[in-house]
Structures are given as C-alpha cells and as structure tokens.
Structure 1
Amino acid sequence: MEMFKSPEKLLASISTKHPDLMSAPIDLEKICSLYQINVEEESLFDSTIGKIIVENGNVKIIINSYENQSSQRKRFTIAHELGHFFLHLNEEQTSFIDDVKTMSRTQSYWTPIEAQANDFAARLLMPLELIIKEAEELVKDGNIKEDIFIQKMANIFLVSKQSMTYRLKNIGII
C-alpha cells in the first residue's frame, strides 16, 4: 500500500483511477474504502473525539458520536485521523487517540504531530485547486460579501465556517 506524506499527493494518485474524487466535497468514505480503513461511530463517555487504531493489520477510525454531532465535525475528525494514518502510524505507533484538548482549535495545545494532522485534514478536505475553482465560480457574478462567501464555500466543501476561514486565510484568499 502506497503511503503519502501530503494530501495533495494522495488525491493526485487516487484521482487517476477515481477522477470523481476531485470534486467538492471530497468523498472521505471512498478514500477510507480504498485504503481498507473502517470508520465506526461509538458513543464514548469521555473526552475522546476520534481515534485511529491498527490491530492485526486492520485499520479502524472510531468517531465519538457525542463529541462529533455535526457532519462537518465528523468529516474533519475523519480527515484528521487519516492524517495520522498517512503521516504518523508505524510499527511502534499503532494508534492515536485525539481528545477535546488535542483537537482544540487553540494552537497552544497542539503538539507538532497534532498540528500536522490538522494541516493534512484541512488540505485534504479543502484542496487548493478546488478552492480556487469554487471561489472563481462564486465570484463570477459580481461582488459577494466576505462572510457570505466564506459560508457558501464552507457549505460546498461540507466543512465548518471556522475551518474554511482558516483555510482561506492560510492560502491568501481572504
């Protein structure tokens, strides 16, 4: 199984066989299926948001349904765990458990590994070329208020408005 150190390389590789994946919103279920990663929701009564575990060669992402109530939050958590899968899992490190603190939007809590997984998730869910394509489509009819633009982009990519705001700032669109 080929492992990719960037979401761009992952999407480029997958899109040669599955060009339908290069449209918004990115189909995380299909990506997980292609890599034989099972995604399950569980009702965990702790601060766990998500985790990825490798047991006996099987890879499983577990999403805490209590901490991931919106579809946007679930998508980001799955993409974050995929970041751990492609960047960090190895023979010594066979699991990651992300809780409210490590997944906090406050960067002071992030370890370098969590920052990398968050960055991977953002770039996977909101690829630059798709952001540009969708942004051009939205603004072609004239002026659009920034707040409305961000919300429409978030809706297109099925991410939170906050995630879209960070992504658009990071790539210099806003």
Structure 2
Amino acid sequence: MKKWLLSTIFGLSILLISIIPALADGPVKTLPGDITLAQAQKILTAAVKKAEEIKVPMNIAIVDAGGNLKAFYRQEDAFIGSIDISIKKAVTARYFNMSTRALGAASQVGKSLYGIEVSNNGLILFAGGVLLVDGNNVIIGAIGVSGGSVDEDESVAMAGAAVIK
C-alpha cells in the first residue's frame, strides 16, 4: 500500500512539474467558436446605437460560448434591476441555444419545458436574449438586453447580433 501511495504521489508531482511552465505562459487563447473581445465590442456598439435610436436606456450583456460574461454596458438611467435580467437573458439563450422568446413559449403551462425557469439558478424566459452566431453558423455566445418592453429589448439584442453575421 505504501509503495502504491508513494508511486502515485511521485506521478502526480511529475505531472504538476510539467504543467507549471504551461501555466506561466499566461491566459489561454480564445478557442475557435468563442467570441472575441473585439467582436463583443462591435456587438455592443450596434446594440447601444439601436437603444439610442429608440430612446430607451438599456443594460446590454454579452456572454461567451460557455455562458460567461464577456462584456457589459449600462446606459445612463437604465434600470438597476435590469442589470441582472440582461445577464440572465444572455446566459439563458446560450444555455439552451435558442432565444429567450422561443424558450419562453416552450415553457408555458402544458408545454414540454414547463417549469424550466427554476433550473440553473434561475432563467429569464421573456424576449431579449438572442444567440450570437458567426458567419460559419457557429454559436459564439449570446446577448441579453433589458430596460424597455420585451419587444424593445429584443430589437436591441437583434441589432447587436446582426453585426456578427
């Protein structure tokens, strides 16, 4: 038993020693199929422009392919309560690979996804969360917008998403 334990510890030590230099090289580069910061900024710019056109202050969140927050913008006078909603709309769209409007329709009473909103620490099931799909038809993230009516939120999200295609 002692021999097995010692050999296991030795093996793990060798593994750690080989990994440490790789960690010193800095953060891992963005993988194919994940949104870049430059893309996120371009999407934010288009979404903010649309929000300014319709004169509704918005919170705009962009998540990467893993559902992690990549970029966020809160316009002056946008509702504080909409910060969390915009992020959750983006995460919800990405987790289920569909717009929050479509997921909301599928989660109504009597539908197959009824009750899904209580999963994943809470989901948002009304319009304003849209997938971000690149020119190769690969999902690279999602955008979530909150601050106006659900139709206004979705129009701002769609304006942002449109620039990535």
- The alignment's TM-score, normalised by the length of structure 1, stands at 0.27
- The alignment's TM-score, normalised by the length of structure 2, stands at 0.28
